[in-house]
Structure 1
Amino acid sequence: MTELIAGRAGRAGNATPGQSPGAAAPPGRDGSQTGSGRRTASGRGVLLIVCAGVVLVNLDLFVVNVALPQIAHDLGEKNLGTLSWVLNGYAVVYAALLVFFGRLADRYRRDLGFLLGVGIFTLASAACAAATNVEMLIGFRLAQAAGAALVTPTSLGLVLAAHSAERRQGAVRAWTAVGGMAAAVGPVIGGLLVTASWRWVFLINIPVGVAALVVGWRRLPHLAGQPVERPDPVGVVLATGGVGLLTVGLVRGGDWGWSSATALATLVGAAVLLGLFAAHCVTSRNPLVHPDLFTSRAFTGASLVAVLFSASFAAMLLSLVLWVQGHWGWSALRAGLAIAPGPLMVPLISFGAAAALIARFGPGAVMAAGSALFGGGVAWWALSVGEQPNYVTGVLGGMLLTGAGVGLTLPTLMAAAASSLPAQSFATGSAVINMIRQIGFVLGVAVVVAVLGDGSVGADVSLHVFRQAWWVTAGLALAGILPAVVLLRRPSRSSPPAGPALPRQR
């Protein structure tokens, strides 16, 4: 892969004198003409192109949720713990490879890395649609995740490099809002597609991916890599193994028994590997994640909010879909439409109110308010949902509140983290915050499975148990208020936030 990304390096570089190679001069409003006559996209054009890839990646995180019952029936697999790996396997590999691929993206051409990631994701989507058993589907989902892990840091790196410092926060909020809306609307689109076949939740990716490849190849600017070292494989192995064992322990712990030797050994092994990973990052000359990133209060605060909010987000979507389909007997289409008001709130809040609120109160206060709204929406379900279906009083209010919470929190935390990054770490730093988000998604799904029990899809889990799951989900979101308020300060009005000056590695 590194050879392909490095491939056309001789033509890479639109940087102006005095700029670092990876931080090319932002394209003009109407695009710029290269020496070879190739017309590149403007900053807004770059954002539009990479958002196609962002939609693919984030949509696929949750579009499969509403398809799980049909996948279970069609492929003959009823165990929720096994089926959860269709979701968790994707999220584990995605999270584990993000920083590794982010480091590669900082070293090599980001535009080629983005196109390679989209290509892998598109081919894997076609393979998922052709799967004949759950094991094949999980395997192809892992390939999808590898492509997604390359798309995410390269896309955000392209956005950061294509915009001037004063415009980066707005561009990152737009990038994140599109991704958050795609993730939240996943169940809606999934519900529509599943009426034809669950295979369409994967086939729909193919035309979008092909379009992104064609336009991206012709219009994305050539951005040369930074002079950083190759990523250390030791850190990659430790991070992948630690996150994987942690997820296995949480998903299977209820089935094994939390006090059983297997469960304890799995969780202790995860703690050891993650501890070794942290120690490796602190002591290594070439760490996978540079510890100086976390000397920034903005980056650290956004990271803590990200893991808690993402866990709550994933738990919310999965638990609600399981309830309305399994207990109220709603179809996948009806379940998707029931969720639709939440995603519709995301762009309204993110583009309509978030920027003004951040300017007046600061990002910490906005994230805290968003976390409170999200937690309040999930608590609504714990208090209002009953055995008999009642959408208006039982679901709608909570859906509107959670959508508003997503619109305030996700774009703001991503902008706060990205604006603290130095130019030589655009891709790596954005990969770190996205890795943290994906770990949160994995934990959220695992928590729901642990609370509901490792039974079968559609099993008779009581309303009382679902209410417990919703209270836990609300608690995760509300816990994010503390780091948002304590660690994130109102930004200076005179200058954009400065990030840690990471040393360049050769």
Structure 2
Amino acid sequence: MQPQARTQIETGTRTQIRTGPGTQPQTGTHRPGAVIFVLCLAGFMAMLDVFVVNVAFPAIGDSFHSASLADLSWVLNAYTIVYAALLVPAGRFADRHGRKRAFQVGLTVFTTASLACAAAPGLWWLVAARVVQAAGAAALTTASLGLLLTVLPADRRAGAVKIWATSSSVAAALGPVVGGAVVLVSWQCVFLLNLPVGVVALVAARRLVPDLHDPRAARATSVDAVAVVALTAAIAAAALGLVKGGDWGWQGPATLTAFAVAAVAAAVFAVRTKRHPAPVIDVALLRVPSFVWANVTVLLFCTAFSALFLSVVLWMQDGAGYSAIATGLAILPGPVSVPLFAALAQRLVRRISAGTVIALGNLVFAAGALLLAACASADVHYWPQVLPGWVLTGIGIGLALPTMMAAATAALPPERAGTGSAMVNTGRQLGYVLGVAVFVAIIGTLGAAKPGAAPHTAFQHGWWFVAGVAALSAVTGLGVSRRD
């Protein structure tokens, strides 16, 4: 046998990994089902935190009653901004230094930062802890998806990616109920939930997940730190301008300065991406049409999804007067439908193109948002006004999201698995930032929180925005013509 940089020989359930010429092979137990479970468990934990914190959002506001809605939104936005900015660098770190190592480091940081969130004495301490938490989440997310794409046999990767993507939908189903129940004790307990899950995932990863290294990725040039800073500044400044524009005035100097900073930082990022030998965005991957279209579609879809999720939580608690636990139970039917229709989507892509399934899911999602807008009124009635539209959006998510993730990542080469999956998740998190920021801007501009205003009017505008973005995502989704 010719010496190879990395040779993987599978015999039964045992895997031998050669890390280079002249080295002794490492042998470890390779059980695909167990590996998928452990990696999805960590991704589930990171996404559960997002949905639980959304439900806890009003309770956090009650603790920091002097903070405005715009300031409170940074509990969500600080996490998603840093998460989005660090995903690609984290993917490069995983590719260079080992995905299992990156996964374990990310889990440790995320779990420890969760404890710091629970102990935060003030709003901005909480925001700072969320920043650290996001750094850990970026590492564990990219490493877990990268491991799925390299550790598993080729014929199991697409299915594993769909399971990985669907696990976030399960988190969406459990998050509101678990969060609503825990918030009855305190919002701090929301973050303490991560501790036992993180410890179990860390121990299981150490025992069950193989440690594969790719020397080709390890020899790559370090990622461009200037571009990372520029990307973070662009996202943060744009989000700041959107969130605070209603308070500062859309033509006020502070708002215009924020958008100017975002534009300059984005230009710096674009120039560095074009000239740096190891750009943050892997230019080679941008030549794969299905990958590009899937990423654009993920960005648009997640913008619509994050705006819708936060809006329904606030609508149920502020508009209908529901408690946190009642809100969690009210939200449950939508996410519960997601894994059911994700399974249907997996069957459909065997008969029709992935792009068609994605477009169909986005159109159903848009129809749900339009139904919510059409039924909204000053007097909120859950069963006829909220539930039908909310379930429709869940069906749309199940059809669209797992299919988008699989279409974007299934064909990635092994040496770019971490970086490519990071780019997909960067688009996903950018969408979450934009969705929350635009929704807060809409209800802030229309004065939904002011005495005497008509809250349902502002929410209707928000849901029209959601429907429009989802419809646009259906159009871009048609570009994903590849079958999985």
Q: Same fold (TM over 0.5)?
A: yes
Which of residues 182, 186, 204 in structure 2 aligns to 1:193? Answer: 182
How do 1:76-475 and structure 2 match up within 5 A? 76-183=65-172, 185-225=174-214, 226=217, 227-351=219-343, 353-453=344-444, 461-475=454-468
Structure 1 residues 383 and 420: alpha-carbon distance in aligned structure 2, compared to 1, 3 A threshold? same
| 8 A contact 1:121–1:147 mirrored in 2 | yes
- The reply on whether 1:61 has 2:53 as its aligned counterpart is no
Cα distance per residue 1:459-481 (max 9 Å; x no partner): 65521111111111111111101
Q: Is the CA contact 1:26–1:42 (under 8 Å) kept in the aligned structure 2?
A: no
Distance 1:286 1:397, change over 3 A: same
Query: What is the rounded CA distance, in whole Å, between the counterparts of 2:221 and 2:33 in structure 1?
Result: 31
Tell me how far 1:32 sits from its aligned partner.
Answer: 4.3
The code of the aligned residue for 1:417 comes to A
Name the structure 1 match of 2:21.
none
Look up the SS of the partner of 2:152 in the other structure.
coil
Are the structure 2 counterparts of residues 185 and 311 from structure 1 closer, same or farther at C-alpha, using a change threshold of 3 Å? farther
Amino acid at match of 1:324: M
C-alpha contact (below 8 Å) 1:159/1:172 kept by paired residues: yes
Check the 8 A contact 1:327/1:458 in 2, yes or no.
no
Is the 8 Å Cα contact of residues 448 and 455 (structure 2) preserved in structure 1? Answer: no
Q: Using the TM superposition, name which of 324-333 and 172-181 deviates more.
A: 172-181
Task: Deviation per CA, 1:210-238: give whole Å up to 9, x if none.
Answer: 00111111121011142322112122111
Question: Could you tell me whether the CA contact under 8 Å between 2:79 and 2:133 is conserved in 1?
Answer: yes
**SS of the residue aligned with 2:349?**
helix
Distance 1:37 1:436, change over 3 A: closer
Cα distance between partner residues in 2 of 1:434 and 1:77? 34
Question: Aligned partner of 1:464: which letter?
Answer: T
Give the TM-score normalised by the residue count of structure 2: 0.93
CA distance in 1, matches of 2:42, 2:148: 12
Which one-letter code corresponds to 1:63 in the other structure? V
Conservation of the 8 A alpha-carbon contact between 2:145 and 2:161? yes
RMSD: 2.1
Q: Which residue number in structure 2 is paired with residue 476 of structure 1?
A: 469
Structure 2 residue runs without a partner (length 5+):
18-23
Q: CA deviation at 1:304?
A: 1.0
CA distance in 2, matches of 1:36, 1:208: 32
CA distance in structure 2 between the partners assigned to 1:27 and 1:456 by the alignment: 60
Whether the 8 Å CA contact 1:59–1:183 is kept in 2: the answer is yes
Q: Distance in 1 between matches of 2:223 and 2:86?
A: 11
Distance in 2 separating the partners of 1:482 and 1:272: 30
Contact map agreement 1:65 1:318 (CA 8 A) in 2: yes
1:422-455: CA deviation from partner (whole Å, max 9, x where unpaired): 1111000100110111010000000110000077
The answer as to whether partners of 2:230 and 2:265 remain within 8 angstroms in 1 is yes
CA distance in 2, matches of 1:480, 1:253: 26
Shift of 1:185: 3.9
Give distance in 1, aligned partners of 2:249 and 2:348: 46
Shift of 1:203: 0.7
Distance 1:65 1:19, change over 3 A: farther
SS in 2 for 1:443: helix
Q: Secondary structure at the match of 2:213?
A: coil
Q: CA deviation at 1:309?
A: 0.4
Distance in 1 (CA, whole Å) between partners of 2:236 and 2:43 is 24
Go from structure 1 to structure 2 and tell me whether the alpha carbon gap of 1:483 and 1:456 turns closer, same or farther (over 3 Å shift): closer
Deviations 1:72-121 (A, max 9, x none): 21233441000000000000000011111111111111101101100100
Q: Distance in 2 between matches of 1:365 and 1:114?
A: 34
Is contact 1:69-1:457 (8 Å) kept?
no
> What is the DSSP-based 3-state SS (H/G/I as helix, E as strand, rest coil) of the residue aligned with 1:228?
coil
8 Å contact from structure 1 (residues 180, 410) kept in 2: no
- Count residues in correspondence: 473
| CA pair 300-53 structure 1, distance change in 2 beyond 3 A | same
| Deviates further, 319-328 or 286-295 | 286-295
CA contact (8 A) 1:309 1:477 kept: yes
Q: For residue 73 of structure 2, give the secondary structure of its aligned residue in structure 1.
A: helix
Q: What is the distance in 1 between the residues matched to 2:3 and 2:246? A: 57
Compared with structure 1, are the counterparts of its residues 409 and 283 closer, same or farther at alpha carbon in structure 2 (3 Å cutoff)?
A: same
Bigger mean CA offset, 341-350 vs 383-392: 383-392
Q: Is the 8 A contact 2:293 2:480 kept in 1?
A: yes
Say which is worse superposed, 455-464 or 303-312, in terms of deviation.
Answer: 455-464
Q: Deviations over 1:174-220 (max 9, x none)?
A: 11111233145422321121112111110111000000111111121
Once the 2 structures are TM-superposed, how far is the Cα of residue 291 of structure 1 from its aligned partner? 1.4
